[in-house]
Amino acid sequence: MKILSRFWWILPIIFIAIYPFTLGGNSPYKSGVLIFVGIYIILAVSLDLLIGYCGQISIGHAAFFAVGAYTSGILTAKYGVHPMFAMLIGMLISTALAWATGRPVLALKEYYLAMATLAFNEIVITLIIGLEGFTGGASGLGDIPPFKIFGFSLVNHIHYYYFVWIIVFFIIAGSLAVVKSSFGRTLIAIHSDEPAARHFGIDSPRYKTRLFMLSSAFASIAGSLYAHYMGFIAPDDFGVISSVNIMVMLYLGGIGTIYGPILGATFMKILPEITYQFQDYELLINGIILIIVLVFMPKGIYGIILKAINRVLRKV
Amino acid sequence: MNDVSHIIQFLFSGITTGSIYALIAVSLVIVYKASQLICFAQGEFFVFGALSMITLTSKGLPMPIAFFAAVFISVCIGSLIQQVLIKPIQGSSVGNLIVMTIAISLALRGLALIIWGRESYILNPYTKGEPLFVFGASLQIQVLWIVGITILVLLIIWYFFEKTSLGIAMRACAENPLGASLMGISVQKSALFAWAWGAGIGALAGAVVAPLLFIQYTSGVMPMIKGFIAMSIGGLGSIAGSVMAGFLLGLVESYTIGLISSKFSDTIVFALLMLVLIFRPNGLFSKS
Amino acid sequence: MRKLAVFILIAFFAISIFPAGSYAQAQKVYKIGGIFSLTGYLSWLGEYKKKAAELKVELINKAGGINGIPLQLISYDDTSSPEQASKVAQRLISKDNVVAMAGTASVPISGAVASMANRYKIPTIINSGYAVDTAKDPFLFNTSHKTDFAVVTAFRYFQKKGITKLALLMPIGPLGELGSNVARKYAQEYKITIVGEEKFDVKAPDVTSQLAKIRTMNPQAVFSFTTGEPAALIARNMEQLNLKVPFLVSHGNANPGFLKLVANINTEILVPSGKVMKPDALSDNDPTKKKILEFNKSHMEKYKEPANYFSAELADAIDLIVEGLKITKSADPVKLRDAIEGIKNYPAMQGVYTFTAKDHHGTKPDDMILLTIKQGKWEIPK
């Protein structure tokens, strides 16, 4: 039993590893479902670092998702830049934006911070639409080539699936490491009582901005992965609605837990694959399911699972 | 005639859109003032108010009755939601509550889709009449109704929150729930009333704005976002502030479109919003 | 209570995971995928498309299918989102194994689906403003008339009426970009001067600021390549400002819903359209007339409303796929694509289709007509 509780995480990894050949049935559609899940896990986890651990609410996360996607898309489709290089540039631009806006924006409180992040998201979107000659505008940007690892082109869906999930794994591991490190503990201190933390000499704006930069870099990676997978991107999917969806994944799964957003992202991306059968009623049913989960699982799905596991462990 | 008339036209355009933003902002502020909660479902009350009134008038009900009935329906829905869904999770974190209101807005939108389908509906203006012409700029008469009703609503709110004991109690609850409950004021009742008010004003906004627009089940999203922006500019707890901010937002939009660029007007407006938030974080009109 | 709720949720999911009827079917059937916007901001037109597609498939099966083999339409909602459209396209391609796809209501959605269609080599007939470049999208066809045709049809009318000064009021979005580019492309040829261009947000409740600016340019007509509510709003605002010039909109407004929206508005509105909207104005030797009247009759019977522009787009899409299947006699998507590309002089509702390796739209400017609205009815403007 002890081995199980220490190494439980090997089970999901094994599931992910063998999925394409088992439940996934070698089908591009089924791999695709989990590829999207993986991309949104990166988004949700990176947002959790910001909201859950640092207490900085953001409804503009999709802006960085867009920066990564469009940088990768434009550089590879229009200028033939190597995808790996383009992804790196996307991360740099995202991080730079986070650094530039971090200090003033993160100093705001709660709803005002939320509004500022919303405004930032909208600015990015309106610029993407406005600079149509460069970005394809509202019509979208197509012909994005598949990702390449040095010379090897990831055309096959199974190759891309593993590529995405390896990145997901590293980002999850990285996020857990950050959270458990002294940097992470400082952030939690800032979150629980910022004035006290500052009183003890912690330069909280600097920490918050650094975390914001890390979070935006991860979101940018997700954007690049998304662009190369879809082959086509449009501003529609990077707006405030998307940011809000990512936030919902967080709260559904359980904020401040890293594992929670993983569950939340999985749930939100798999749910439509089930409820699509209800056609006209799909929207209503999605809303109702969300409500049920929120009312009966206030600590998120992760909270419920933890409770269930504890109960089982106690009985054993 | 040319220059003056279109400067004034921008003014009228700003007042028209600003009046919509102001009303929604008020409904958001009321819920916030009395329960510390931002309700993301306000846009759906807007739609329900508009579509209910349209359906009722098409069934033959006279407009005034349809108006009050539409508001009443939303008040009932809002109260029901508060009792069944919000009350049980009242102690949760701010984020949880926000997400719950988002889920509620999805469900309401899905319900609207089932009831009214996908088409857009129109509502006749409350009074027939040619638009007003002032120095060559024109203003739809319905906008006068909107402004008039907004002023009336503000007066009623002011009277309620300043002069009635229930209203004063609700304000006490918002400022200090523990203290208020120690004084015997029911925090539960207060939250319920807040939602009822919010839903009612949201629906009222929809009913009075509908003649300017074409309403369908997704029409609530944009007003909600704009109302939210107006509330942030005006100061979260300030009703008068959010009304002024709503009109200000409408005016800034229309003057930016008119005088600067219609292509980048949204970019400019959001950039200005960010600046306001950064340099006047408590809102332009709040006291602190 | 909590346990019950959790149990119900789990049971719900368990049941839903077993999708209805997707176990291998013994009998042969041709599967076509439909991608329609049934929720979200495009949902009002998605419904027209789905209804037409379903009716067409029903009619074909009633007539015996394709060489005796029935057609099956599997359709999904793209929720007006390119990401979701990409997903459902994948679902249709690799889960439902369709031989062809049809649908998509907007340019970005078409783009997202095009990416999948090309990747997995499935012929797809889209119907939006997306201009098919056969070098990049060899598997794509488009039964929506090219924006060029709509503009040319309108410009010919303007030339006839002596209208030379045109103002553009374009929506921020793909249609606006398209409309503006195409209008400028043909302006000189038809002796039209574009006196100015303003942009507006399709969600905006008021465009009088933009119209006030436009009024100072003294236009003889206003063109907005926009569909639905925004078009109606501009018409209403034009009336409000006493801007009494003709107002040209997109051909996406050729549907009954639009008539309802502009019912109380007195602005003169011009709508380019396919011939489906006014079959009685067609001469008897117009090759599209017969098909239009037949389909219209069935559409009235089943749905109690006449077919509209969007219906014609889908009816033709299904028709073309069926023609291709008749030629290939197999469910090979690549062969089907070639077969469709080889179709020449095929009369359908949007026009007479002739595809080539370079042209996957297949129709001509003459396949469009210009309509106006008088007393709630579609009329040909004099």
Cβ atoms of residues B286 and B241 within 8 Å: yes
Paired residues of C193 in beta bridges:
C165
Give dist(CA A73, CA C349) in Å, integer: 38
* Two tokens, residue C171: 């929506």
Give dist(CA B110, CA C187) in Å, integer: 45
Residues of C in contact with A232 (CB under 8 A): 82, 86, 108, 111-112, 114-115
Cβ atoms of residues C139 and C124 within 8 Å: yes
CA distance B135 to chain C (A): 12
Q: What is the percent of chain C where pLDDT is above 70?
A: 93
**What per-residue confidence (pLDDT) applies to C43?**
87
Residues of C in contact with A234 (CB under 8 A): 82, 108, 111-112
**What per-residue confidence (pLDDT) applies to B1?**
43
| B81 to chain A: closest CA residue | A291
Cβ atoms of residues A301 and A264 within 8 Å: yes
Give dist(CA A63, CA A97) in Å, integer: 10
Give dist(CA A190, CA A186) in Å, integer: 6
| B4 to chain C: closest CA residue | C212
Decide if C82 and A236 are in contact by the 8 Å CB cutoff.
yes
Decide if C209 and B214 are in contact by the 8 Å CB cutoff.
no
CA distance A103 to chain C (A): 32
Q: How many residues does chain A have?
A: 316
Residues of B in contact with C207 (CB under 8 A): 13
- The strand order across the sheet containing C100-103 reads C71-77, C30-36, C100-103, C124-126, C140-142
Does the CB of C74 have a partner CB in chain B at under 8 Å? Answer: no
Residues of B in contact with A109 (CB under 8 A): 281
pLDDT tens column, C6-15: 666 666 665 5
DSSP letter string, C240-273: HTT--S-EE--GGG-SHHHHHHTTT--S-EEEEE
Lowest mean pLDDT among A291-305, C118-132, C189-203, C256-270: A291-305
Does the CB of A200 have a partner CB in chain C at under 8 Å? Answer: no
- Among A27, A230, A293, beta carbon nearest to C83: A230
Please identify every stretch of chain B with a pLDDT value under 70, giving residue numbers as ranges.
1-2, 174, 177, 183-185, 281-283, 285-288
Q: Is residue C11 one of the residues assigned to a domain?
A: no
* Interacting residues of C351 by C-beta distance below 8 A, sequence separation 6+: C145, C274, C275, C288, C362, C363, C364, C366, C367
* Interacting residues of B243 by C-beta distance below 8 A, sequence separation 6+: B22, B25, B26, B150, B154, B234
Q: What is the DSSP letter of C35?
A: E
**What per-residue confidence (pLDDT) applies to C23?**
47
Which of A96, A120, A97 shows the shortest CA–CA distance to A108? A120
Same domain, C162 and C260: yes
Does the CB of B101 have a partner CB in chain C at under 8 Å? Answer: no
* Two tokens, residue C247: 């107002």
**What per-residue confidence (pLDDT) applies to A316?**
66
- Among A118, A130, A298, beta carbon nearest to B264: A130
Decide if C5 and A32 are in contact by the 8 Å CB cutoff.
no
Same domain, C234 and C372: yes
DSSP letter string, C167-211: EEEEESSHHHHHHHHHHHHHHTTTT-EEEEEEEE-TT-S--HHHH
Q: Is residue C264 one of the residues assigned to a domain?
A: yes
SS3 B139: strand
Same domain, C295 and C352: yes
Contact residues of A toward B, CB < 8 A? 51, 57, 104-105, 107-112, 115-116, 118-120, 122-123, 126-127, 130, 240-241, 244, 247-248, 250-252, 255, 280-288, 290-291, 294-295, 298
- Can you tell me the ipTM of this complex? 0.88
How far, rounded to the nearest angstrom, does the alpha carbon of residue A206 sit from its chain's CA centroid?
23
CA distance A4 to chain B (A): 31
Give dist(CA C29, CA C71) in Å, integer: 6
Cβ atoms of residues C100 and C30 within 8 Å: no
Cβ atoms of residues C44 and B216 within 8 Å: yes
Lowest mean pLDDT among A298-307, C42-51, C259-268: A298-307
**What per-residue confidence (pLDDT) applies to C21?**
42
Give dist(CA A106, CA A100) in Å, integer: 11
Decide if B110 and A51 are in contact by the 8 Å CB cutoff.
no
**What per-residue confidence (pLDDT) applies to B2?**
59
Where are chain A's structural domains?
A: 31-315
| C200 to chain A: closest CA residue | A130
Virtual torsion, Cα C187, C188, C189, C194, nearest 10 deg: 20
**What per-residue confidence (pLDDT) applies to B283?**
66
Decide if A138 and C174 are in contact by the 8 Å CB cutoff.
yes
Angle (nearest 5°) at CA A115 between A113 and A121: 105
How many Cβ contacts (< 8 angstroms) between chains A and C?
111
Does the CB of A316 have a partner CB in chain C at under 8 Å? Answer: no
How far, rounded to the nearest angstrom, does the alpha carbon of residue A305 sit from its chain's CA centroid?
21
Same domain, C152 and C216: yes
Question: Best of A59, A111, A124, A132 to disrupt the B interface by mutation (most B CBs within 10 Å)?
Answer: A111
Same domain, C174 and C242: yes
C15 to A23, C19, C133: CA distances (angstroms): 17, 8, 44
Q: What is the mean pLDDT of each run of 10 residues along chain A (316 residues)?
A: 72 87 82 93 95 84 96 95 95 95 80 84 92 88 91 89 95 93 84 80 84 95 96 92 88 86 90 76 81 78 81 76
Same domain, C138 and C178: no
| B19 to chain C: closest CA residue | C205
| B85 to chain A: closest CA residue | A295
Decide if A287 and B104 are in contact by the 8 Å CB cutoff.
yes
Decide if A232 and C115 are in contact by the 8 Å CB cutoff.
yes
Q: What is the DSSP letter of B286?
A: -
Same domain, C42 and C136: yes
C184 to B20, B208, C151, C187: CA distances (angstroms): 36, 40, 10, 5
- Among C39, C44, C205, beta carbon nearest to B120: C44
SS3 C102: strand
* Interacting residues of A215 by C-beta distance below 8 A, sequence separation 6+: A46, A47, A49, A50, A61, A64, A98
Q: How many residues does chain C have?
A: 382
Same domain, C253 and C303: no
Give dist(CA A249, CA C2) in Å, integer: 21
Exposure letters B203-236 (e unless 16+ CB within 10 A, then b): bbbbbbbbbbbbbbbbbbbbbbbbbbbbbbbbbb
Subunits next to C (3 or more Cβ pairs <8 Å) are A, B
| CA Rg value for chain A | 20
- Among B9, B20, B113, beta carbon nearest to C209: B9
Same domain, C196 and C134: no
- Among A27, A144, A237, beta carbon nearest to C94: A27
Q: What is the DSSP letter of A233?
A: B
- Supply the CATH classification number for the domain A31-315: 1.10.3470
Residues of C in contact with A233 (CB under 8 A): 82
pLDDT tens column, C151-173: 999 999 999 999 999 999 999 98
Angle (nearest 5°) at CA A133 between A128 and A134: 60
pLDDT tens column, B134-155: 887 888 888 899 989 988 988 8
Decide if C111 and A232 are in contact by the 8 Å CB cutoff.
yes
DSSP letter string, B210-221: GGGS-B-TTTTH
Decide if B88 and A295 are in contact by the 8 Å CB cutoff.
yes
How many Cβ contacts (< 8 angstroms) between chains A and B?
118
State the residue range of the domain holding C96: 17-146+291-365
SS3 C142: strand
pLDDT of C4 strictly over 80: no
Subunits next to B (3 or more Cβ pairs <8 Å) are A, C
Question: How many domains does one find in chain C?
Answer: 2
Q: Is residue C22 one of the residues assigned to a domain?
A: yes
Q: Is residue C152 one of the residues assigned to a domain?
A: yes
Give dist(CA C93, CA C317) in Å, integer: 18
Cα atoms in the Cβ-side hemisphere of radius 13 Å centred on C190: 25
- Among C12, C77, C130, beta carbon nearest to A279: C77
**What per-residue confidence (pLDDT) applies to B159?**
85
Does the CB of C156 have a partner CB in chain B at under 8 Å? Answer: no
CA distance A113 to chain B (A): 8
CA distance C91 to chain A (A): 5
CA distance A274 to chain C (A): 6
B62 to B57, B72, B215, C10: CA distances (angstroms): 6, 15, 20, 48
Decide if B118 and C41 are in contact by the 8 Å CB cutoff.
no
* Interacting residues of C116 by C-beta distance below 8 A, sequence separation 6+: A231, C86, C89, C90, C93, C122
Exposure letters A139-173 (e unless 16+ CB within 10 A, then b): bbbbbbbbbbeeeeebeebebbbebbbebbeebbe
